[in-house]
Amino acid sequence: MALYISILSLFLTFQTSFDAKVIGITDGDTIIVLSENKEQIKIRLEGIDCPESHQDFGNKAKQAVAELCFKKTVKVISSGKDRYGRMLAFVYVDNICINEKLIEMGLAWHYKKYNNNEEMSKIEIMARDNKMGIWKDPNPIPPWEWRANKRKK
């Protein structure tokens, strides 16, 4: 059984696109899907970083993700794995990219440290200019800084 799971995990790592049903929302940038072969996969949304649950807009980001995709069939386009073993992916409901939609709503930063997608940068600039979500605050604290400060304490 362990060998089967290892082979399946290896297969999913190299698979670039598949359909799945969203069965869980961990936070604004992490979901759990059930693949067609009934495998649960934790997905970290590629290219974004949402506020943490104890930050302003953290729970709103999680709620928005739930409203956008919970219990829906999504298209997952994998781009690899993160250092925690989660699949990195762009996730689509119909033709809506959840990753980009969260930036547009002002509920996520474009995570430029790990992603250089120019379209995502443009969407973030528009959200900032329109003072959407996190951008209503004149000095929002990016989640990577918030996590670093928390680790120091």
Catalytic residue, chosen from 86, 100, 104, 124, is 86
Q: Which of 65, 56, 58, 57 is nearest to 30 (CA)?
A: 65
CA dihedral for 50, 51, 57, 63, sign (positive or negative): positive
Catalytic residue, chosen from 46, 52, 100, 104, is 52
Would residue 44 show up in a list of annotated catalytic residues for this protein?
yes
Catalytic residue, chosen from 36, 39, 44, 118, is 44
Beta strands (DSSP E) in the chain are 17-27, 30-35, 40-45, 48-49, 73-81, 87-93, 96-97, 109-110
Q: How far is CA 93 from the centre of its chain?
A: 13
Helices (H) and strands (E) in the chain, counts: 5, 8
Those residues whose C-beta lies under 8 Å from the C-beta of residue 16, and which sit 6 or more positions away, are 77, 78
Q: Which residues pair with 25 in a beta bridge?
A: 31
Are 102 and 48 in contact, with CB atoms under 8 Å apart? Answer: yes
Would residue 52 show up in a list of annotated catalytic residues for this protein?
yes
Residues with a known catalytic role: 44, 52, 86
